[in-house]
Amino acid sequence: MVFFHTYSDLSCGFGEAGRGSVIIILMSLTVAVDIGGTHIRVAVYEAESTKPIAHHRTRSQANKPGVYDRLVKAIESVWQKGKVTAIGMASPGPLDPYTGTILDTPNIPEWNNFPLGPNLSKHFGVPVYLDNDANMAGLAEWRYGAGQGHHDVIYLTISTGIGGGVISSDRLLQGFHGMGAELGHMLIDPNGPICGCGHFGHAESFSSGTAIARHVNEQLNAGCKSTLQAGPDLSAAQIADAAHAGDALAIAAFERAGHYLGIAVANYLTIFDPSILIFGGGVSQAENLLFKPFEESLRKHIFHPHYLDNLVITRAGLGDNAGLLGALALARMKSS
């Protein structure tokens, strides 16, 4: 196991998609869209480049009506008529990437069984390809980021929730229903805490930022001594700061999260046997607070130590651009 091998080359390389007639490659543009809870981001890319020639960002106002109209306007603001050949999108899920339908995403209440892909394809007259944001970030890290050159990749983003993306034998794992690789919702303990999805004991309910803050709040309300104050605004970042300052409860909270994360990842390795494990998301910036207990737990719970031989564990290299670049990679893969 190669722990936190530093990924130093953050410059975006060139994708492999877009093979075909040279004339078509030079003229074709791809539009990539990242629909987040706070912002919609749109960018236009030439040929095989990962540097946008135009981009636009607008507030998504996900809880208010008109998200689709705001999205269309954002795309229109960068549209180059006759030159764009495909649109790729990273969207909150759950969704069906094969039909382009958003099923019932909690972030955007008005998109319930919403045919986002078909609607946009009809409006703009080009194919639209979409998948969930974590899958797209994983795809981007494999194509253009920390996972380049690997054939079997697990990407995990740990923030308020836990999302995952899996590349298996150089293919994005989507599954029969397009709902594969929901790594945050792997069941760890059916008697565990409630998860963001409403079920109990999923990996996200133990090791996400929300889970860490909830656990600390519970301990504070039970009378545990700490420099932290209980409250709804208590964040994993505040708890990490307290842990770095030596607060025992804060340290124990990250140890608990790392312990369960190790169990979850032991399960993932048993199924997917990757050569690299890439961590994104704000909570993963807690570094050794989380990853030391994680590593100990992973070694303890893994079925066979050979899974850990030459396994690279590293941090994501693309930051906030991962969603856009994943959407770009998806559109290029699907339309090539």
Binding site for Zn ion (CB under 5 A): 185, 195, 197, 199, 202
Cα angle 178, 159, 310; round to 5: 75
Closest CA to 91 of 34, 174, 149, 144: 34
**Closest CB to Zn ion among residues 195, 327:** 195
Q: Whose Cβ is closer to Zn ion: residue 205's or residue 314's?
A: 205
Q: How far is the CB of 133 from Zn ion (least distance, A)?
A: 16
Nearest to Zn ion of 151, 199 (CB atom): 199
Element (H, E) at 67: helix 67-76
CB of 192 to Zn ion, least distance (A): 10
CB of residue 223 vs Zn ion: minimum separation in angstroms? 29
CB of 208 to Zn ion, least distance (A): 10
Residue 129: name the closest of 327, 336, 326 by CA.
327
Question: What is the number of the residue whose Cβ is closest to Zn ion?
Answer: 195
Query: CB of 102: closest distance to Zn ion in angstroms?
Result: 18
Give the pair of three-digit tokens for residue 267: 């399960």
Within 272-326, strands assigned E span 276-280, 312-315
Structure tokens of 316? 């994501």
d(CA 282, CA 290): 12
CB of 211 or CB of 269, closer to Zn ion: 211
- Which residues, at least 6 apart from 71, have a Cβ–Cβ distance to it below 8 Å? 33, 35, 40, 60, 120
CB of residue 197 to Zn ion, shortest distance in Å: 3
- Least distance in angstroms from the C-beta of 305 to Zn ion: 29
User: What backbone torsions phi and psi does residue 67 show, to the nearest 5 degrees?
Assistant: -60, -40
Dihedral of CA 84/321/165/70: which sign?
Answer: negative
For every residue of 232-282, DSSP letters joined together read TT--HHHHHHHHHTT-HHHHHHHHHHHHHHHHHHHHHHHHH--SEEEEESG
Q: Residue 106 or 319: which CB sits closer to Zn ion?
A: 106
Cα-Cα-Cα-Cα dihedral sign, residues 146, 284, 181, 255: positive
In angstroms, what is the minimal distance from the CB of 168 to Zn ion?
A: 22
**CB nearer to Zn ion: pick between 127 and 192:** 192
Q: Which is nearer to Zn ion, 202 or 332 (CB)?
A: 202
Residue 279 CA to residue 155 CA, distance in Å, equals 6
Taking the least distance from each CB to Zn ion, the nearer of 149 and 198 is: 198
Radius of gyration of the chain (CA): 20
Choose between 115 and 192: whose C-beta lies nearer to Zn ion: 192
CB of 186 to Zn ion, least distance (A): 9
